């Protein structure tokens, strides 16, 4: 009872009024704005060709910037690795991995299949276009819409806190150490959120520090958006797919029985209605499978790089936060929670799809096929064969996305963390 009341309160907070398109929903406009800020929203698919051309060039510039940051980070570490502590090296490597991961995602955003998938998601697949089919479909649409709005707001808050702490903690440490005063400590250098192969003046002079601070603030925003918003997009698509599977399962389990209970068979008119219902179920299932296959094709490389880089990111973050100093907890704590949450969130959401698709296999046998005529029974057999195919995505076309993959990544990360922790102790 309490949960339903809380959900009703949340619904009033995040629900929208009457709209003509899913593009007008608040959480979609927020998603569009954030992805446009890194040139990754396919405006041309929605008729805004000039804006898409400008943002495509901007996306290309960001690709070059991410690659440049990675190269400058490598050169910085190579130049100073002999005088650098183990934890400082971990910070440098972490920033370089972030740059590479965002670079991969920005490149994915330039592909036609990615852009077509977003178009299909918002103009064909969204539950907005199915809410008038039945009261149950309208109920599921409302639930998914509310959850999507809440989840988008949560991710935005998470990103804002992460960027603020990652950028401002070094600034606070400089302030606390008297780096901005007239009597600055001798032979001291400014602490920054990211380091690159740049002239020493960027790390020893106040003017150079503020220039690098402004650059790091901008790039930290770009990297954070690249890390979190693409996963938000995937999550919103999974929510919609789960809603479709829920509606499909309900339709399978609630096939109307024969009106004439004496004969135990559908009449000719009822068989016509059942045939239409079976046809609608088949078309709906086919729509789901096609969309999931398109998502799997569009995000295959994206998901592969996600799990590959997560192996290293979670390991390094555990190492950095394990010092348990106030500075490390404030700087890396939210980032550690956020990145682990992303890994768990994406994996569990895809596991939910797998579970729901297996529930469809059980639901198809609940159809009252014994009351149907021969033609409809043949259709049911066809449906049984079609629904045996589970709804799932694979990273790189090979690795199934789900809880098992997540556990493998986490186990590997902990193993590498223990090894690096031992090496750090020896030094």
Q: What is the pLDDT of residues 382-413, one digit of tens each?
A: 888 888 877 777 766 666 777 777 787 777 77
In a domain, 4, yes or no: no
In a domain, 71, yes or no: yes
In a domain, 16, yes or no: no
Q: What is the pLDDT of residue 363?
A: 85
Q: What is the pLDDT of residues 251-293, one digit of tens each?
A: 988 888 888 766 778 888 888 998 999 899 889 988 988 898 8
CA distances from 401 to 76, 102, 120, 384 (A): 36, 20, 22, 24
**Phi, psi dihedrals of residue 399, rounded to the nearest 5°:** -90, 120
Q: How many CB atoms lie within 10 A of CB 168?
A: 16
In a domain, 48, yes or no: yes
Q: What is the pLDDT of residues 295-333, one digit of tens each?
A: 888 888 888 888 888 888 888 777 777 776 776 777 777
Q: What is the pLDDT of residue 261?
A: 64
Helices (runs of H) and strands (runs of E) counted in the chain: 13, 2
- Measured distance CA(167)–CA(83) in Å, rounded: 24
Q: What is the pLDDT of residue 8?
A: 57
In a domain, 163, yes or no: yes
In a domain, 5, yes or no: no
In a domain, 348, yes or no: yes
What is residue 372's DSSP assignment?
A: S
- The closest alpha carbon to 349, from 426, 237, 271, 427, belongs to 237
Range of the domain at 369: 21-426
- Measured distance CA(91)–CA(194) in Å, rounded: 8
pLDDT of 5 over the 70 cut: no
pTM reported for the whole predicted model = 0.87
Percent of the chain with pLDDT over 70: 90
Q: What is the pLDDT of residues 158-195, one digit of tens each?
A: 888 888 888 888 898 888 888 888 778 877 888 888 89
Q: To the nearest 10°, the Cα dihedral for 80, 84, 87, 88?
A: -40
- Measured distance CA(141)–CA(354) in Å, rounded: 20
Query: What average pLDDT does the segment 226-252 reach?
Result: 90
- The closest alpha carbon to 101, from 127, 76, 66, belongs to 66
- Measured distance CA(209)–CA(131) in Å, rounded: 54
Q: What is the pLDDT of residues 107-141, one digit of tens each?
A: 999 999 999 999 999 999 999 999 988 999 999 99
Percent of the chain with pLDDT over 90: 29
- Those residues whose C-beta lies under 8 Å from the C-beta of residue 189, and which sit 6 or more positions away, are 203, 204
- Measured distance CA(100)–CA(119) in Å, rounded: 27
What's the total number of domains in the chain?
A: 1
- Measured distance CA(154)–CA(36) in Å, rounded: 19
In a domain, 255, yes or no: yes
- Measured distance CA(301)–CA(105) in Å, rounded: 9
């Amino acid at each position: 009872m309490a949960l339903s009341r809380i959900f009703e309160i949340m619904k009033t907070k995040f629900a929208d009024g009457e709209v003509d398109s899913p593009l007008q929903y608040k959480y979609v406009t927020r998603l569009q704005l954030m992805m446009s800020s890194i040139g990754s929203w396919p405006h041309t698919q929605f008729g805004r060709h000039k804006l898409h051309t400008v943002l495509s060039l901007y996306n290309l510039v960001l690709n070059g910037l991410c690659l440049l940051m990675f190269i400058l980070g490598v050169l910085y570490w190579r130049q100073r690795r002999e005088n650098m502590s183990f934890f400082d090296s971990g910070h440098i490597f972490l920033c370089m991995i972030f740059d590479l991961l965002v670079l991969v995602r920005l490149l994915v955003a330039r592909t036609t299949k990615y852009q077509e998938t977003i178009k299909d998601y918002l103009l064909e697949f969204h539950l907005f276009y199915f809410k008038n089919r039945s009261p149950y479909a309208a109920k599921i649409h409302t639930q998914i819409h509310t959850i999507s709005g809440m989840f988008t707001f949560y991710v935005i808050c998470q990103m804002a806190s992460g960027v603020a702490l990652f950028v401002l903690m070094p600034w606070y440490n400089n302030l606390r150490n008297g780096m901005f005063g007239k009597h600055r400590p001798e032979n001291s250098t400014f602490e920054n959120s990211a380091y690159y192969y740049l002239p020493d003046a960027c790390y020893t002079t106040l003017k150079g520090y503020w220039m690098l601070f402004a650059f790091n603030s901008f790039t930290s925003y770009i990297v954070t958006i690249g890390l979190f918003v693409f996963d938000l997009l995937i999550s919103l698509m999974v929510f919609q797919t789960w809603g479709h599977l829920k509606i499909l399962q309900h339709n399978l389990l609630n096939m109307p029985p024969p009106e004439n209970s004496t004969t135990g068979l559908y009449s000719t008119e009822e068989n016509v209605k059942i045939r239409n219902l079976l046809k609608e179920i088949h078309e709906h299932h086919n729509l789901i499978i096609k969309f999931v296959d398109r998502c799997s094709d569009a995000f295959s490389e994206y998901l592969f790089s996600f799990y590959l880089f997560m192996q290293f990111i979670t390991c390094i973050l555990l190492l950095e936060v394990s010092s348990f100093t106030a500075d490390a907890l404030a700087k890396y704590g939210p980032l550690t929670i956020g990145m682990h949450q992303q890994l768990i969130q994406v994996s569990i959401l895809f596991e939910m799809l797998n579970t729901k698709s297996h529930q469809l296999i059980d639901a198809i046998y609940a159809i009252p096929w014994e009351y149907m005529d021969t033609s409809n029974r043949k259709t049911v057999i066809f449906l049984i064969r079609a629904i045996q195919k589970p709804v799932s995505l694979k990273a790189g076309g090979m690795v199934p996305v789900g809880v098992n993959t997540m556990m493998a990544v986490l186990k590997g990360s902990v193993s590498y963390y223990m090894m690096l922790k031992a090496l750090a102790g020896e030094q």
